[in-house]
Amino acid sequence: MENKAEGGHLFTPWVKRNVEVSSDRDELKERVKLVFLEKLKGLLSVEGELLQKWENKLDLVCDEITKLKLLKSRNNLVYNVIMKNKEGFEKERDLIRKRIKEFRGGIECVIQHLEEKGFKEEEEGLRVFKIGREFDWNKIHCLMMRECRRLDVCLPIFAFRQQILRQIHYQQVTVLIGETGSGKSTQPVQFLVDSGVTGNGSMVCTQPRKLAANSLARRVQQESEGCYDDTSIICYSSYSSGHKFDSKVVFMTDHCLLQHYMVDKTLSKISCIVVDEAHERSLNTDLLLALIKNLLYHRLDLRLVIMSATADADQLADYFFGCGTFHVSGRTYPVDIKYVPCESIGCLGAGPISSYVYDVVKTVTEIHETEGEGTVLAFLTSQIEVEWACEKFQSSSAIALPLHGKLSYEEQHRVFLSYPGNRKVIFTTNVAETSLTIPGVKCVVDSGMVKESRFEPGTCMSILRICNVSQSSANQRAGRAGRTEPGRCYRLYSESDFEAMPCHQEPEIRKVHLGVAVLRILALGIKNVQDFDFVDAPSAKAIEMATRNLVQLGAVRQKDDAYELTTDGRCHDPISPPFGYRDGT
């Protein structure tokens, strides 16, 4: 047991007795407890290797700040560089201090549990670890080792764990803005489960895409292995009426949770909902937020955490009763942004392939031939472009991998594997913009393009068109190159093009035919669409016109003073009504 507590192995010792004697069991429990207490207190002592490492790091950072304070220069440019470096070191100093304090608090919480010290009733919801009355030595060991990893991995959000838990405990809704590299998609979920702040029901964490839901569930499972029961973290990537909410954490898409809402309007088995990547503002996310807002009036025990790297925190906070917001800076390594506008802008390629796809493949080839080791991640707009680029990129010392939403999970998982002796070159759609950390990415090639569906009033049809990304999306793409080490981002457009891009992407409800939103709202059992509390509300006239159009098409009928879907309306829910019905005739 001493060897396990020191991290020498991961096996769980057990004793097989010929005769069961209660005094022997109690004696063994006390001996094991003493071993763990000695190890835990050793982690907090001055001789503790891990803590000493970070105390030394803190001293070095403080020395750098002192040196910079002594530097003086009459040259404004030099002075500004000195001040910028000093500010960076001061932020690093404060972050290290907070992480050390958080680490001490976590270890002390486990020690208090082992020493069976009581907690004041008012502090019940603020414990970092709510372990339970039984002494599960394997779980305690895994919690201890994970706490050491958290200090060493340096994710910024760990430094704010207790503050985040306190805010979620005392407020029903929290908007958490975590910049790229902060750890906001994987860590808060574990903080909440560890502390028990969110109650006894399941915590559901939604993602816009199946790939993100699956990969995050696996990542959290790996990080918390042994800390919870085997079935405590699961992923439901597609809806099934047989889904059970008896696990601590359930990852799923926002669309999947909407379908569960149609069956259980109170989401009775869920105690906390975490809506991640809210900045994407998909129609499903907006509908989900509106439904949860209404549900919060009736379920005061329900907690909502809205997370994003770039979302407009003020707008979301105002929408949710002026709730509190919490901002965590990111931890990304320096990314050198290079603007390399394509010479072939405006020209069409052969067949369905546009010119920028050729430029992406050409740039990736040049990077592979001229730069050192490291994975290359190139952003395109569609499955066709991705597969064409994989086919055209040829190299004996590199492997080209596709990444898009139509691949199976096994095929998508290939981008996370290692290929000794070969550089990974990943051609992807915007599925890799957020929530995914692909190890070893050193270069990003950004076409600056994205494919989106938009309703054209002139033709009364929804069309897929290629358009420029937003600045926030471009920054998210660049950030993929700085997650685990310094990197470069090659933007195949000019800096002035970047400045001309919109700051944030437009909510989907402003792009699709409003009839799509009306159909989905009615499908959710809401009879009066005019009273629906949209995050970004269309005009009453636009809603009325869309509803009238659906009635004419036979998708909706009026019953008394309300509207409901017809059989045809339920069949055509995902499709823009004019296009869907025209196609069916």
Q: For 472-479, what is the mean pLDDT? A: 91
* Residue 483 lies inside a defined structural domain of this protein: yes
Q: Based on the fold, state whether residues 521 and 566 are members of the same structural domain.
A: yes
* Interval 511-540: pLDDT, tens: 888 888 898 899 888 888 988 999 988 888
Would you state the pLDDT for residue 292?
Answer: 96
- Higher per-residue confidence, 74 vs 76: 76
Query: At which residue do the structure tokens 């989401």 appear?
Result: 267
Residue 278 resides in a domain: yes
201 is a domain residue? yes
Count Cβ atoms below 10 Å from residue 493 Cβ, excluding itself: 22
Q: Which two tokens stand for residue 445?
A: 């090639």
Residues composing the chain: 585
Tens of pLDDT, residues 346-399: 444 445 788 999 999 999 999 999 998 899 999 999 999 999 999 999 999 999
Predicted confidence at residue 427, as pLDDT, reads 98
Q: How far apart are CA 526 and CA 577, in angstroms?
A: 19
Across the beta sheet with 398-403, what order do the strands follow?
Answer: 335-339, 487-491, 441-446, 375-379, 423-428, 398-403
Pair (190, 260) in one structural domain: yes
Q: pLDDT grade, residue 46 (50/70/90)? A: confident
14: in domain? no
Q: Is the domain of 77 the same as that of 30?
A: yes
DSSP character at residue 196: T
d(C-alpha 580, C-alpha 585), whole Å: 9
Mean pLDDT of 172-191: 92
- Tens of pLDDT, residue by residue over 536-573, are 888 888 888 889 888 988 889 988 888 888 888 777 54
pLDDT value of residue 146: 95
Q: Are residues 217 and 135 in the same domain?
A: no
3-state per-residue secondary structure call for 52-107? HHHHHHHHHHHHHHHHHHHCCCCCHHHHHHHHHHHHHHHHHHHHHHHHHHHHHHHH
Q: Which residues contact 577 (CB under 8 A, 6 or more apart)?
A: 513, 515, 516, 519, 549, 550, 553, 555
Q: Give the per-residue pLDDT at 577.
A: 46
Q: Check whether residue 402 and residue 499 sit in a common domain.
A: yes
Instruction: Say whether both 366 and 476 belong to one domain.
Output: yes
Q: What is the pLDDT of residue 23?
A: 66
Over residues 230-261, the pLDDT tens digits come to 778 999 988 888 888 989 999 999 999 999 99
| Separation of alpha carbons 461 and 341, rounded Å | 33
Q: Are 174 and 304 in contact (CB under 8 A)?
A: yes
Both 170 and 317 in a single domain? yes
CA distance 355 to 499: 22
Helices (H), 154-245: 161-170, 187-195, 210-223
pLDDT at 164 over 60: yes
Do residue 134 and residue 165 come from a single domain?
no
Domain that holds residue 544: 513-572
Residues with Cβ within 8 Å of residue 475, at least 6 apart in sequence:
180, 310
Strands of the sheet containing 303-308, edge to edge, are 233-236, 249-253, 202-207, 270-275, 303-308, 173-178, 324-328
pLDDT at 122: 42
Residue ending a domain, choose from 485, 504, 523: 504
Give mean pLDDT, residues 310-322. Answer: 85
Q: What is the mean pLDDT of the chain?
A: 86
Q: What is the CATH number of the domain that holds 396?
A: 3.40.50.300
pTM exceeds 0.85, yes or no: yes
Angle, CA 154 vertex, CA 150 and CA 160 arms, to 5°: 75
Residue where a domain terminates, one of 328, 344, 372: 328
**97/230 same-domain check:** no
**Residue 495: pLDDT band by 50, 70, 90 thresholds?**
very high
Give me 167's structure tokens.
Answer: 């805010």
pLDDT tens for 430-458 read 999 877 788 899 999 999 999 988 877 77
Q: In 3D, which of 42, 37, 38, 40 has the Cα closest to residue 115?
A: 37
Pairing of strands 461-468, 449-456: antiparallel
| Torsion sign over Cα 427, 432, 433, 439 | negative
What's residue 11's pLDDT?
A: 52
Q: Report yes or no on 585 lying in a domain.
A: no
For residue 148, being part of any structural domain is answered with no
**Angle (nearest 5°) at CA 59 between 105 and 64:** 130
Asked, for residue 11, whether it belongs to a domain, the answer is no
Q: Please indicate, yes or no, whether residues 530 and 483 belong to a single structural domain of this protein.
A: no
200-223 per-residue burial string, b: 16 or more CB within 10 A, e: under 16:
ebbbbbbbbbbbbbbbbbbbbbeb
> Do 171 and 197 share a domain, yes or no?
yes
What's the pLDDT tens digit per position in 285-308? 999 999 999 999 999 999 999 998
How many domains are there within the chain? 4
Task: Give the per-residue pLDDT at 358.
Answer: 93
Locate tokens 């002075």: which residue?
Answer: 79
User: Is the distance from CB of 220 to CB of 296 less than 8 angstroms?
Assistant: no
Final residue of a structural domain among 446, 477, 504 = 504
- 356/446 same-domain check: yes
**Token pair recorded at residue 424:** 């990974």
Residue 8 lies in a domain: no
